Amino acid sequence: MEKYLRWPDEETMKKTKEDFEGIFGIPNVGGAMYTTHIPIIAPKVNVAMYYNKKHTERNQKTSYSITVQGVVNSKGVFTDVCIGWPGSMGDNRVLEKSALYERAKRGNLKNIWIVGNSGYPLMDWVLVPYKHKNLTWTQHGFNERIEEIERVGKAAFGRLKGRWGCLQKRTEIKLQDLPIVLGACCVLHNICEIMNEEIDDEWRFEVFDDEMVVEDGVCSLDCLHARDQIAHYLLHHGRAGTGFF
């Protein structure tokens, strides 16, 4: 597994940053992060923990799930996954339980941005959109670029689920075995991506996971200032999104 799914070494991370910046204009982006849900049958223990409220409301049918958090490079290859936390947990809580979070706490993600959606908090290594109302043009332009990077992660999960249709519907695999199966699917996905294997149009799958927007909470001034600097950098270098202008 480690051969095809592992965190980038220094040289590979440098190339990853260059790729993201070349496409989206934001320096030091080391990955796009997304969390998806895998439907499961109701477990026999701790059933409430796996209850997926958002999916239940949308489908009008009681839903249970486990989560898969993934970070991908600019080509949609997984470089980190966290598999198996209950579906009742928000993206921010899954992140806090992940090895990626521990890696950041040890100081191993300095000068690296992992880009995520509004389900994650702004941190000194997690870059997310502005969430408040009445955004400035600069902030709108920044958000458009962030959303484009987010879609890299979301699209990777779409191809993952498209290739392995068993991930699209409720699985009857035993809960304790699911992390191994899902991990294998992620590795096989990476092999397909590395080999430039095209996915047939009829297999394409649009991922739809209900994003739970988290409050910014207590962010350090450094985090807020860093995001503002990036937003202004994009605007003044002509790399900001233009949909709002």
State pLDDT tens for residues 72-90. 999 999 999 999 999 999 9
Q: Total structural domains in the chain?
A: 1
Q: Does residue 86 belong to any structural domain of this protein?
A: yes
Tell me 110's DSSP state: T
Q: Does residue 245 belong to any structural domain of this protein?
A: no
Tell me, what's the pLDDT at 237? 87
Q: Does residue 242 belong to any structural domain of this protein?
A: no
* 107 φψ region: left (φ > 0), alpha (ψ -120 to 50), beta (else): left
Please name the residue that has the structure tokens 């290859």.
Answer: 77
The H or E element spanning position 22 is: helix 10-24
Name the residue range of residue 82's domain. Answer: 10-237
Tell me, what's the pLDDT at 91? 95
Tell me, what's the pLDDT at 210? 58
Q: Indicate the average pLDDT of the chain.
A: 91
Q: Does residue 147 belong to any structural domain of this protein?
A: yes
Q: Does residue 1 belong to any structural domain of this protein?
A: no
Tell me, what's the pLDDT at 20? 99
Tell me, what's the pLDDT at 22? 97
Would you say 142 and 136 are in contact if contact means Cβ atoms under 8 Å apart? Answer: no
Tell me, what's the pLDDT at 212? 62
Q: Does residue 2 belong to any structural domain of this protein?
A: no
For 220, other C-beta atoms within 10 Å of its C-beta total 11
Would you say 120 and 95 are in contact if contact means Cβ atoms under 8 Å apart? Answer: yes
* pTM for the whole structure: 0.92
Query: In the chain, which residues have pLDDT < 50?
Result: none
